[in-house]
Chains A and B, each alone.
Chain A
Amino acid sequence: MSCPIPGEVRPLAEDDPALQLRQILNEEGEADAGAVAALGLGRQELLRLYRGMLLIRVMDERLMSLQRQGRIGFYGEARGQEATIIGTAAALGERDYIVPALREAGAAIFRGLPLRLYIAQILGNANDVCKGHQMPCHPGTRAARYVTMSSCVGTQLPHATGMAYAMRLTGDEAIVVGYLGDGATAQADFHVALNFAGVWRVPVVFVCQNNQWAISTPVTLQSAAPTLAHRAVAYGMPWARVDGNDVLACYAVMREARMRALAGGGPTFIEALTYRMGAHSSSDDPSRYRDESVTEAWRSKDPLRRVERLLERMGILDAAGVAALRASLDDEVRETVAAEEQVGPPPLRSLVEDVFHAVPPHLEEQLAELLPLSRQPVGARTHG
């Protein structure tokens, strides 16, 4: 199949200029007007990108503090990674699918997962689509085409490849995005997924959020290759390295990869270089293992501030507008949490549902044995 959007499989020398991170919006929030215009994003769309990023930031702050108060059991932030998440998700079409890793919930909401359902999932209450079956921060939605994640690092990637095969077979004009962290590149499933995708030339884009840490393990202990993008070369697929804190560049590389995939040009691997600004999760304490002055230094690369400067310069949103938007998103999160906290736990029966298509007799029996002793449904058990 010939592809109008060539994806060169470049060999990689360490000084290959292509290894430079793609950037459109620099750390000062400056961008070449032509480069921005070339993206074809209107004022409303730019604002929407910013709103999606800001919602992640606001949610992370609010939900982390609820976790510390013991009101939710667990939380994993994406602080510092908002540009990669929203920039790549924004380049997708409605029929495209997301197969997420750990930190892309903001993309699910951006694509239409109602905030209240996300919060319900975090609380594991009776409104939760997955009925309290999974721990917090594991959303999934068919409507927004965001596959319910597993905690297992790397297992999702072959699914992304397989789904892309199915899309092509059924003639669907869509692609799959498989997200992963830098740590996941060490898993066998990562290599399997890229190898199959390369051989099959299916419409899948792998987006590696290289936040440089896997819990306490630095990316330098995951791979001896100079960059993670080097992996793509071995699997015969085009790749790109992008400033993961630049939402416009993330959008741009994803859009190119998507168009190539739709045109039959096969898979792409994107390495988005960013930094995990927070702890791995609410269970973690990074001061035990990393130099937090490096984290501080990354604050100057903050992905939100850059967009704020751009929006201000373009006359789309000024500082007061930013503050107002932040306050309204924060209210929305707080009100949603308050409402969802009133909702009790899922009914006892939810324990045996969705194990199979129908509840089999032995599970009915096991449920019946629980009933005389159950604390349920006596209202919500507090979380944590």
Chain B
Amino acid sequence: MPVWNIIQAVNDALRVEMRRDPRVVVMGEDVGKFGGVFRATSGLQEEFGVERVFDTPLSEGGIIGTAIGMALYGLRPVPEIQFADFIFPAFDQIVNELAKFRYRSGGEYPCKVVIRTPYGGGIRGGHYHSQSPEAYFAHTPGLKVVIPSNPYDAKGLLIAAIRDEDPVLFLEPKRVYRAARGEVPEGDYTVPLGQAKVVREGQGVTVLCYGAMVHTVMEAVDKQGAAEYDPEVIDLRTLVPLDTEAVLGSVRKTGRVVIVYEAPKTCGYGAELAALIAEKALLHLEAPIARVAGLDTPFPYTLELEYLPSPERIARAIANTARF
């Protein structure tokens, strides 16, 4: 089996689906000849031609708006937004159009678009190349939100996302785009949406995370001594729909939970997880729910490693929660 990074896995998923399904088109800024600024669409234009893999004018609203039109007619566009930070010119199209088309038409006009976009910090990109906007979209009924953390899941989830009947926001953790490597099967396979994965089994503390933070959590466990508390680390993989059974089952077992995400803390996705656990498993808890998150500030440049949840901060939270 080839050992690939996340970019190669995404690239292969697109290739597999484009070969299988002529409805799939790839569009966005610099995705054609250049193959994307992160090279995720590299080689696709050569193989599938400029009609199916094309550079658009520089307009995110235009990219998503026209992708919606293509989807209404039956194509399966997979537009790329160059950085998640630049998705906001398309916010109206995503929130008011893409997410609501099926509902407002009573199912007459489902709208199948998969938006791929790199997100997250740790690449010295300052606040316009580092944000984690997942909560805005998880808050939007009608959208599925998927975030892989490794190459195997990236490929399997992206194929599943393209085959799914609903619009999907597919957020790619660019901090580990190249650093996360692993075996990836060739050809066709899927990782189903809505299924979390236990990355490390444990009895002591449930640690919920996704994206690049899965790696930071594992560093806390393996290098910062948090293994001592026997954490159970869960990679959510899909935020919407959430695998609530995986989350609640683990919390009922350990009675303790630490939630890690790099977006600003307030109203971040971890707030929803905390509320869910409080609603459904409060009586199993033996310690307060802890959140380790980004600060409630814009994403900084110089002090980004101070802003981001660090292995040290995570290890401290795991220890405090375990010893409570």
Contact = CB atoms under 8 A, between A and B. Distances in A.
Interface of A: 73-74, 124-125, 128, 131-136, 138, 150-154, 183-184, 186-189, 214-217, 221-223, 283-284, 288-289, 345-346, 348, 350-352, 355, 362-363, 366-367, 369-370, 373-376, 381, 383-384
A328 to B, nearest CB: 30
Contacts of A375: 305-306
Given A151-B85, A187-B58, A187-B59, A133 B296 contact: no
Given A132-B302, A215-B37, 7 more contacts: A216-B32, A217-B30, A217-B58, A284-B37, A351-B300, A362-B296, A370-B295
A135 B129 contact: yes
A contact patch SS: loop
A186 B126 contact: no
B297 A370 contact: no
Interface in B225-258: none
26 contacts: A132-B303, A133-B300, A135-B124, A135-B127, A136-B301, A152-B88, A183-B58, A188-B89, A216-B30, A216-B33, A217-B57, A284-B37, A288-B35, A289-B30, A289-B33, A351-B300, A351-B306, A363-B296, A366-B265, A370-B295, A373-B313, A375-B305, A376-B303, A381-B305, A383-B124, A384-B124
B58 A366 contact: no
Q: With a 10 A CB-CB cut-off, give which of B59, B124, B303, B306 has the most chain A CB atoms.
A: B303
B295 A124 contact: no
Contact of A132 (B29, B32, B56, B301): B301
A183 B302 CA distance: 29
B126 A135 contact: yes
Contacts of B127: 133-135
B73 interface: no
Contacts of A369: 313
A46 B300 CA distance: 40
B310 A373 contact: yes
Contact of A186 (B30, B59, B85, B86): B59
B303 A214 contact: no
B295 A351 contact: yes
B41 to A, nearest CB: 11
A288 B86 CA distance: 24
B292 to A, nearest CB: 9
Interface in B145-185: none
A348 B303 contact: yes
A346 B29 contact: no
Contacts of B29: 214-215, 217
Given A133-B300, A187-B58, A366 B306 contact: no
B219 interface: no
Contacts of B303: 132, 345-346, 348, 350-351, 376
Contacts of A125: 302
A381 B303 CA distance: 9
Given A135-B125, A362-B296, A188 B59 contact: yes
A138 B128 CA distance: 11
A230 to B, nearest CB: 15
B55 interface: yes
B312 interface: yes
B213 to A, nearest CB: 17
B34 A289 contact: yes
B266 to A, nearest CB: 8
B316 interface: yes
Interface residues of B, number: 41
Contact of A189 (B55, B89, B298, B316): B89
B194 interface: no
B59 A355 contact: no
Interface string B56-90: 11110110000000000000000000000110110
Contact of B55 (A134, A217, A376): A217
A357 B307 CA distance: 20
Contacts of A153: 58, 86
Contact of B298 (A133, A221, A376): A133
A283 B312 CA distance: 30
Given A134-B127, A215-B29, A221-B57, A346 B302 contact: yes
Contacts of B125: 74, 135
B55 A221 contact: yes
A186 B57 contact: yes
B89 to A, nearest CB: 6
A184 B29 CA distance: 12
A214 B55 CA distance: 11
A154 B129 CA distance: 16
Contacts of A131: 302
B111 to A, nearest CB: 20
Given A151-B85, A186-B62, A351-B303, A216 B55 contact: yes
B306 A348 contact: yes
Contacts of A183: 57-58
B300 A74 contact: no
B302 A345 contact: yes
A363 B59 contact: no
Contact of A374 (B265, B300, B302, B306): B306
Given A124-B302, A214-B58, A187 B37 contact: no
Given A135-B125, A138-B126, A215-B34, A370 B306 contact: yes
B136 to A, nearest CB: 16
Contact of B306 (A150, A189, A222, A376): A376
A351 B300 CA distance: 7
Contacts of A355: 296-298
Given A152-B128, A289-B33, A366 B301 contact: no
7 tightest CB-CB pairs across the interface, nearest first? A132-B302, A135-B126, A151-B128, A186-B57, A216-B34, A124-B302, A183-B58
Contacts of A216: 30, 32-34, 55
Contacts of A383: 124
Nearest to B297: A355
A215 B30 contact: yes
A151 B302 CA distance: 16
A217 B61 CA distance: 17
A132 B306 contact: no
B321 to A, nearest CB: 14
Interface in B30-60: 30, 32-35, 37, 55-59
Contacts of B88: 152
Given A187-B89, A189-B89, A383-B124, A373 B300 contact: no
